[in-house]
Amino acid sequence: MMSMEVDLRVDLNTEDDTGLPWAFVRDARDPALLKEGAWLVVGSGNARAVAQVVEIDDELVWVRPLPGPVSQYRQLVGERGAAQKTR
């Protein structure tokens, strides 16, 4: 089975008044990855997307997801965008 680890767990269907999905900083795999302008693999459940960090404010992070599959944007996220085999 192939699975892709996410850098930030985000419900891509949840948007606030900014029109952007958001998450808590604590939902990051590695909080050091959270920098405004950074590209991350985000998602929850089976949904995955590449997204740019738009804003970080205290405990919250807003992202702007790109359309299409993560594999389309591998150059932005490098090896983090590669599916990993799970047992």
Where are the domains positioned within the chain?
Answer: 2-74
Structural domain 2-74, CATH architecture: Beta Barrel (2.40)
- pLDDT value of position 74: 86
Residues 61, 56: Cα–Cα separation, whole Å? 5
Say which amino acid occupies 5: E
Q: Would you tell me how many other CB atoms lie within 10 Å of the CB of residue 78?
A: 9
Instruction: Report the pLDDT averaged over residues 45-74.
Output: 94
- pLDDT value of position 20: 97
- pLDDT value of position 86: 41
